[in-house]
A = this chain, B = another copy of it.
Amino acid sequence: MRKLPAKLASQLYGAAELIAERGLDGTKIEDIAEATGIPKATIYYHLDGKNAVLEFLLSDLLDMIAGAVGVAVLSAEDARTRLEAAVVAQLGVMLEHPFLCRALVGDLGRATRLPELALALRAAFYEPIEQLLADGVADGSLRQVPNPGAVALSVFGAITVAGLTAAVEGPSDDPSADAVRLSASISELIFDGLATRPRRADDKPQ
């Protein structure tokens, strides 16, 4: 698959809302052509069909997330702090691109069946978390758990579902503020849990 010119790429984003709204099935290639201004024949010249349109849009989203999280993870802090930063980063990107998130949720099945996307999904969402959890055990900032894989998956689920839902529900005026707010709640859950217990003074995350 050729990599398509920047101009077309930017036009293609015009299809995101459409696909988010109706799903890829409910969206005719002709609709996409009309919405983006790219004629059908041109779309087919560059892309191998409908799936490729989705694949292009989503891999872009996933790259953005993987990138932002990658940066957040690089700092010299302990793993716990970096995990918090990663959560904010991930949610930030998601809330900034609600349509792409909706499209992702809506066509998750297709996405996971497109091999490249499935990998990108893992790389963007799951792997950084898994890594940070392991780092945290190593540097003492996170607790050792009996079944790290399952826990990493749950943490991944907690973050991602909250983020996707927030993105799906309503595009907001100030995505990054929302991301910070939301990630505070999630971090609190992930780090401190919900059980009632006396908390020490230095325990407070923010």
Binding site for B on A (CB under 8 A): 23, 25, 80, 105-110, 112-113, 133, 136, 140-143, 145-147, 150-151, 153-162, 165-166, 181-182, 184-186, 188-198, 200, 203, 205
Contacts and interface: CB of A to CB of B under 8 A. Distances in A.
A143 B109 contact: no
A154 B186 contact: yes
A143 B194 contact: yes
21 contacts: A23-B109, A105-B109, A108-B108, A140-B196, A143-B194, A145-B185, A147-B184, A150-B186, A151-B186, A153-B161, A153-B165, A154-B162, A154-B185, A154-B186, A154-B189, A157-B161, A191-B195, A192-B195, A193-B193, A195-B203, A197-B203
A60 to B, nearest CB: 19
Contact of A195 (B80, B162, B166, B186): B80
A134 B167 CA distance: 24
B147 A181 contact: yes
A198 B141 CA distance: 12
Contacts of A185: 145-147, 150-151, 154
A23 B136 CA distance: 38
Contact of A161 (B107, B109, B156, B190): B156
A153 B189 CA distance: 11
A120 to B, nearest CB: 17
Contact of A194 (B136, B181, B198): B136
